[in-house]
Amino acid sequence: MSNITIKDVAALAGVSVKTVSRVLNKEANVRDVMIERVNKAVKELNFTPNPMARGLRGHKTFIISLLYSNPNPGYIVELQKGAMQQGSIDGYNLQIFPCDHTADDLYETVITFLKNSPQDGIILTHPICDNKAIIKYLEDNQIPFARISPLYSDHNSPYVGSDDEKAAFEMTQYLISLGHTKIGFIKGHPDFAATQKRFDGYKRALTTNAIGFDEELIKQGLFTFESGEACARQLLTQDNKPTAIFASNDYMAAGVLKVAKQHNINVPSELTITGYDDAPVSKQLWPPITTIKQPIYQLGMAAVEKLVHIIKKKSYKDIDSIYDCELIIRDSSSPCIL
């Protein structure tokens, strides 16, 4: 945009271009006098270095890409905000690549993007972060990357995630503390990392409290409103009815709430309903739904921070990988009256 170059700054400051470059990049071995002179000239000319030239010479772009294929807009936007925040701290811009993980040509699409688009590294969200072919390509081509909430974290690659197992444990523990023992559980879509972890937390809480595990109270959902409805219909019409239903996300919880109303079952006095994700809908229903809030913003920040460390070949071991969720108690849950 601006056509002022380092040369101009150097001329005004009365130093060489390299010295200007040194000051701009905060390199060592420059006298304070020089630094001041250069900074003054930079300010006077309102100079900003040309990112393209920087990129060409230094093999850097200061661009990080965020790949996603996620049906939850609230999640994505929050993640973007967090990533942007950390990016601006570290001096990186954020490029996005929304894609469809169900598409046949996903791999080709992503690889083409990686090749044609200038970038220093990429962040992968689930479910793409578990795509073996894509991960392999990144490793083979030594493209720095970080994964958010991956299904397989045994992989020796950097990732960040929230402790879904722990959060689901705490939610179940909370329900048990309210006196519930017949707690229905609606699982999420099998393709998502979170599904198994949330289920594990639920089971662990039952075990911890010596409550028998009842297969009939577990239903397989798909994270959609409709699947929540379907599962609720089963749970609320079978002989073995739960007094509380823990849905693996808020959309499904909303579906449960709808079915409860259709059956004239009062929530929460007759049925406690809880969700997961703190989606906007959880606040907009009546009654508002008790849920779990993931540290999405934090995850976005942490992912970028790790990635930048990798790009700069610094150690990222001191950056946490797992972040805690928060239990948000609203009006859809109450003590068991039986």
Partner DNA sequence: TGCAAGATTGACAACGTTATCTTATTTGTT
Partner DNA sequence: AACAAATAAGATAACGTTGTCAATCTTGCA
Q: Does 312 bind DNA (CB under 7 A)?
A: no
Q: List b or e across 121-150, with b for residues whose CB sees 16 or more CB atoms inside 10 angstroms.
A: bbbbbbbbbbbeebbeebeeeeebbbbbbb
Looking at the Cβ atoms of 3 and 29, the one nearer to its own copies is: 3
Alpha-carbon torsion, ordered 163, 164, 169, 170, to 10 deg: 70
Q: Which of 11, 45, 50, 90 binds DNA (CB under 7 A)?
A: 50
Q: How many residues bind DNA (CB under 7 A)?
A: 28
Q: Does 264 bind DNA (CB under 7 A)?
A: no
Q: Does 286 bind its own copies (CB under 8 A)?
A: yes
CB 94 to its own copies: min, Å: 6
Q: How far apart are the C-alpha atoms of 325 and 194, rounded to whole Å?
A: 13
Beta carbons within 8 Å of 300's beta carbon, 6+ residues apart: 78, 79, 80, 81, 82, 83, 84, 85, 86, 148
Q: Does 45 bind its own copies (CB under 8 A)?
A: no
Q: Which of 1, 11, 12, 24 binds DNA (CB under 7 A)?
A: 24
Q: Which of 9, 38, 80, 236 binds its own copies (CB under 8 A)?
A: 80
Closest CA to 211 of 257, 242, 251: 242
State which of positions 146-205 bind its own copies (CB under 8 A): none
Beta carbons within 8 Å of 270's beta carbon, 6+ residues apart: 260, 337
Give the residue carrying structure tokens 């929540």. Answer: 228
Q: Does 39 bind DNA (CB under 7 A)?
A: no
Q: Does 118 bind its own copies (CB under 8 A)?
A: yes
Q: Which of 17, 99, 319, 327 binds DNA (CB under 7 A)?
A: 17
What phi and psi values does residue 98 have, to the nearest 5 degrees?
-75, 135
| Three-class secondary structure of residue 301 per DSSP | helix
Q: Which of 36, 40, 44, 58 binds DNA (CB under 7 A)?
A: 58
Stretch near DNA under the rule CB under 7 A, chosen from 54-62, 108-116, 195-203, 271-279 = 54-62
CB 126 to its own copies: min, Å: 16
Residue 84 site contact among its own copies, DNA, none (CB < 5 to 8 Å, cut-off depends on kind): its own copies
Q: Are 325 and 295 in contact (CB under 8 A)?
A: yes
Q: Are 150 and 129 in contact (CB under 8 A)?
A: yes
Q: How far apart are the first and last CA of the chain?
A: 71
Q: Which of 39, 40, 53, 107 binds DNA (CB under 7 A)?
A: 53
Residue 333 site contact among DNA, its own copies, none (CB < 5 to 8 Å, cut-off depends on kind): none
* Structural tokens at position 149: 């909430």
Q: Which of 41, 42, 63, 110 binds its own copies (CB under 8 A)?
A: 63
Q: Are 117 and 95 in contact (CB under 8 A)?
A: yes
Residues that bind its own copies (CB under 8 A): 1-2, 48, 50-53, 55-56, 61, 63, 73-74, 76-78, 80-81, 84, 91, 93-98, 113-118, 141, 143, 225, 251, 254-255, 257-258, 261-262, 280-281, 283-286
Point out which residues bind DNA (CB under 7 A): 3, 5-7, 14-19, 21-22, 24-25, 28-31, 33-34, 47, 49-50, 53-54, 56-58
